[in-house]
Structure 1
Amino acid sequence: MRLSSIAVAVASVSGIAGASDSCGNGPFPMSLCNGVKIEDATINTLQQWMANGALTSQDLVTCYLARIEQTNKYLHSISEVNPDALSIAATMDQERVAGQVRSPLHGIPFVTKDNYYTDDKHNTSEGTLVLLGGKFISEATVVKKLRAAGGVLLGHSTMSEAADHRALSNYASGYSSRTGQTRNTYNLTQPTAGSSSGSVVAVRTNQVAVAFGTETHGSLVHPSGQLGLYTIKSTPGLISRYGIVTGSFWHDTPGALARSMADVALAMDIIVGPDAHDNLTFDAIGHYPENGYYSQIADKDSLRGMKLGIPWDPYWSTIGHINSPGIREQYEKSIQQLEAAGAEIYNITDSPFVGISNKYGGGQVSDVAPEFNHVVVFSTLMAVGYGEYLENWTFPEGDERYGVSSLAEMAAWNRAHNDTTGALGNNTWWWDNSTGQSFYDAGVKTNGTMDTAFWTAFGNVRTSARRAIDIAHAYVADNGSVVALDGILIPNGRGGNRGNACASLPSFAGYPIAAVPLGLDGFSTPFGVCVYGRQFGEAKLVKVASAMEDLFRWNERPQWYNYDTAKGPWDMPWPGYTCSDESQDRFACEPAASS
């Protein structure tokens, strides 16, 4: 369903989106929804309104569609809406009237990142043109669980093309050749910081209440930090990845993005669990909390006696973000608040992260030996992952992409259809200037060969990362006693697009992270803190993060700075191809007239 058609759907339910009263600040105040202020509402609050009859699921869908129509031309956060969203909502309303409420998500609209395959009338394309219009063999397991819980799939969110796996240099995170550049609603000149950016922007701007993304290396926690939301990047295998376009079997994990840790926990209780299609999920059996993740939600009183570590080197000493003007002072104030609430803060000066973490931002140390470089691991696993995913991905017979079955063939198709010659001059800046797909090309070179060199690199980095995080959780006091820490605190922000250090080591280790917002930086964009946990330690992360949420209570609304003046080539279609609203109605982009 093209976005310009939303107004027709909205107009069909009178008196909801068109209310004259509005709330919120800035150039795009949000209208009341059937007289109710749903702006910044959590899942529980929306459920209360539906339970007492103040709102219906159809009301929510209609109002969120109106919000998308109002804001998406500036944000590009929604790639396509589900044409069946209102009919699904009507079914959920009928069930509620009959006394059937499936779960806390019953009737709640949600969006998924464009790499979750949904077996319905709108596209899953991973933000690419090469996959647009294709079909997977089955709907993603996470989507099936959300539908079964009564959730209403509102649409797909924009994502960085190929989950930031297409290029490693001279590209813009959040850019898709299908939909354009997702924009940061606090300051539209600033980055969105990860491939799940459309999902984060959609929640933060009230286009939807909850959204789902994925992370291989930072794509949940980094945009959450940059736009002030909560998330948990879980241990790979806690949540099934089946039906989601594969970046790396050993690193990928889906996750919820929301305005409260309670909403994240509610979603986790629905989507975790074993899946016969994802054998890594069987490693998680026995690690789920007895009464679910929502039972771990805590208030600030739980901080009393909580033990939290600060690894001074390298995360708190040298990284660019924390040394941006005014940022260190805000972090120090937050630590003081934690101590005042009764938390015990341990300064890990003898940090196990030194020597394996980049002291200036993300990734490994700059002098890592080539045989231990994790980029080789990511490149190889990407080639393997796409090959396996494409085994079950088909295009209509007669389509020129029919039979595309490997990363190499995807890269070849891109070369044939995209301008990689620099003919557009400065307008090609968002991709690597040599090929337009440096990460793809690196993956192709590996041929997906998981040989001794691959396992050497993978084993070395995974082992060292896990050892570092585990050791950090066991603080050794001056008297030799060992203190088991509840979490390790890492700054999470960009400081004007400086490298973020939050995600790298847990990605390499396959360990979980929680993200909590704290404040605004000098560029008027949010920043926060990441909490490192141990393998399958998500329940403790929910407790730590929700207690911090209750203490800090940060929820500064978007500022929309530069929304009408920010310049860039973001609205231009990729050379030779045009993705118009009309062509999306036909589930495909069309060759431009000049091609």
Structure 2
Amino acid sequence: MKEQHLDDTGLDQSVTRRKFIGTTAATSAALLSGGLGSLLSRSAATAHDFDFVEASIPQLQAAMAAGQITSRELTQGYIDRIQSLNPLLHSVIELNPNAIAIAVSLDNERRKGQLRGPLHGIPILVKDNIATDDNMQTTAGSLALVNSRVPRDAVIIQRLRAAGAVILGKANLGEWANFRGFDNVYPLAVGWSARGGNTINAYDLSYTSWGSSSGSANGAAANLCAAAVGTETDGSITGPSAVESIVGLKPTRGLVSQDGIIPISHEQDTAGPMGRSVTDVAILLGTLQSPFNEVVGQQLPSDYTKFLKRGALNGARIGRDVRFFNYSYYGSGRRHDRGHGYR
């Protein structure tokens, strides 16, 4: 395994420095010849038989079962995309230096027929306000918590690890989950943190990623991970998911444990799944769900995919009360309308 040389963000700068000029040139050329979509497509080239870009979790599992790709190769593929695209998008604060080793171990389990579940070997990004007791930091994007250590994994991280997920890295966020004042008072973009910079929308480089789960949404949208975990007090999963064209779910409070997540309000906070499809989000929710039966009196399902029904909303009419929804906390979202930190 190649030794990784990490800077203070945890990203492998021994690679990004060597590739800096080439990456910059490729970025400029791609943007001139078709925008970020072109860049995403070009950076997706791999030596694998299976193209993992835009693949769903069930498709990834099928490919690993068929021997078309391993978890190690998949994890390395996402790391390569992060190293190519993160200098532009600022989606990821820190890579897990043990991600490849974890993936190799999970591949060995697969070869022995020891599958833990639908997330076995699947690389996941988690928001940087979620505690991980490993070689990564948990800082909520703030310089104030750099080099601090958490005593243990958050409950949802314990559950992800037990389910066989590869914790790929820490996603950028609005610093302190945006608990630092609103945009019009404290003029920094809602996807900005001191550690990670300003997350840029994967589909429109002039537009916000929203927040505070900016890196989680952006990472899923740009195929920097198979799926991601964000947190929400008020709009921090659903807002970024909307503008990044992914699926995000804020679960009922209590369905997912708050233990080990840097809080804003225990009455509103919850972690939730974010992914490129409803199926992926349903799979991830089944793992994130609290083991402590905090939702009193509820018989909780263990598999939410069984409730998915294509066309279930055909013919439905959705109303919007403009008295409550015809506003924005964040202005137009254009970067030139607000301060946006460093790029």
- The TM-score range, normalised by the shorter chain, is 0.7 to 0.9
TM-score (norm 1): 0.50
1:221 match: 238
2:103 match: 89
1:433 match: none
Q: Is the 8 A contact 1:7 1:66 kept in 2?
A: no
Please tell me the root mean square deviation across aligned C-alpha atoms, in Å: 2.6
Give the alignment of 1:367-386 within 5 angstroms.
none
Deviations 1:275-328 (A, max 9, x none): 3xxxxx523452423x6211111111x335x654414x31xxxxxxxxxxxxxx
1:392 match: none
2:218 match: 201
The gaps in structure 2 that reach 5 residues or longer are: 1-5, 17-35
Q: Could you say if the C-alpha distance between residues 40 and 284 of structure 1 is closer, same or farther in structure 2, counting changes exceeding 3 Å? A: farther
Q: Is the 8 A contact 1:6 1:69 kept in 2?
A: no
Paired residue for 1:108, among 116, 122, 137? 122
- What secondary structure is seen at the aligned counterpart in 2 of 1:310? coil
- What secondary structure is seen at the aligned counterpart in 1 of 2:249? strand
Q: Is the 8 A contact 1:273 1:285 kept in 2?
A: no
Q: Does 1:571 align with 2:342?
A: yes
Deviations 1:540-566 (A, max 9, x none): xxxxxxxxxxxxxxxxxxxxxx9xx9x
Which letter maps to 1:233? K
1:179 match: 196
2:71 match: 57
Give the alignment of 1:344-383 within 5 angstroms.
354=323, 357=324, 360-362=326-328
TM-fit CA distance, 1:201: 0.7
2:180 match: 166
Q: Is the 8 A contact 2:123 2:166 kept in 1?
A: yes
Q: Is the 8 A contact 1:75 1:184 kept in 2?
A: yes
Q: Does 1:127 align with 2:93?
A: no
Q: Is the 8 A contact 1:33 1:60 kept in 2?
A: no
Q: How many Å separate the matches in 2 of 1:240 and 1:25?
A: 36
TM-fit CA distance, 1:38: 1.1
Deviations 1:418-448 (A, max 9, x none): xxxxxxxxxxxxxxxxxxxxxxxxxxxxxxx
Give the alignment of 1:68-467 within 5 angstroms.
68-168=82-182, 169=185, 170-275=187-292, 282-289=294-301, 292-300=303-311, 302-304=312-314, 307-311=316-320, 313-314=321-322, 354=323, 357=324, 360-362=326-328
Q: Could you say if the C-alpha distance between residues 239 and 56 of structure 1 is closer, same or farther in structure 2, counting changes exceeding 3 Å? A: same
Q: How many Å separate the matches in 2 of 1:270 and 1:183?
A: 29
Which letter maps to 2:247? Y
Q: How many Å separate the matches in 2 of 1:568 and 1:361?
A: 20
Q: Mark the structure with the bigger radius of gyration.
A: 1
Q: How many Å separate the matches in 2 of 1:141 and 1:82?
A: 18
Q: Is the 8 A contact 1:33 1:59 kept in 2?
A: no
Name the one with the larger strand percent.
1
Paired residue for 2:39, among 15, 18, 27? 27
Q: Is the 8 A contact 1:274 1:285 kept in 2?
A: no
Q: How many Å separate the matches in 2 of 1:56 and 1:34?
A: 9
Which letter maps to 2:195? R
TM-fit CA distance, 1:271: 1.4
Which letter maps to 1:272? Q
Q: How many Å separate the matches in 2 of 1:287 and 1:166?
A: 38
Which letter maps to 2:282? A
Q: How many Å separate the matches in 1 of 2:14 and 2:286?
A: 32
Q: Is the 8 A contact 1:6 1:65 kept in 2?
A: no
Q: Is the 8 A contact 1:195 1:219 kept in 2?
A: yes
Deviations 1:216-259 (A, max 9, x none): 01000000000000011111101001001011100001011100
Q: How many Å separate the matches in 2 of 1:83 and 1:270?
A: 23
Q: How many Å separate the matches in 2 of 1:157 and 1:26?
A: 23
TM-fit CA distance, 1:6: 6.8
Which letter maps to 1:264? V
Q: Does 1:46 align with 2:60?
A: yes
TM-fit CA distance, 1:570: 3.3
TM-fit CA distance, 1:87: 0.5
Which letter maps to 1:227? E
Q: Is the 8 A contact 2:86 2:92 kept in 1?
A: yes
Q: How many Å separate the matches in 2 of 1:246 and 1:569?
A: 24
Deviations 1:468-496 (A, max 9, x none): xxxxxxxxxxxxxxxxxxxxxxxxxx894
Q: How many Å separate the matches in 2 of 1:213 and 1:284?
A: 24
Q: How many Å separate the matches in 2 of 1:122 and 1:84?
A: 9
Which letter maps to 2:309? A
Give the alignment of 1:521-536 within 5 angstroms.
none
Deviations 1:381-405 (A, max 9, x none): xxxxxxxxxxxxxxxxxxxxxxxxx
TM-fit CA distance, 1:274: 3.7
- What secondary structure is seen at the aligned counterpart in 2 of 1:156? strand
Number of residue pairs the alignment of both structures matches: 312
The gaps in structure 1 that reach 5 residues or longer are: 9-23, 276-280, 315-353, 364-493, 498-522, 524-561, 573-595
Which letter maps to 1:303? L
Which letter maps to 2:313? L
- What secondary structure is seen at the aligned counterpart in 2 of 1:79? strand
Q: How many Å separate the matches in 2 of 1:6 and 1:495?
A: 39
- What secondary structure is seen at the aligned counterpart in 2 of 1:264? helix
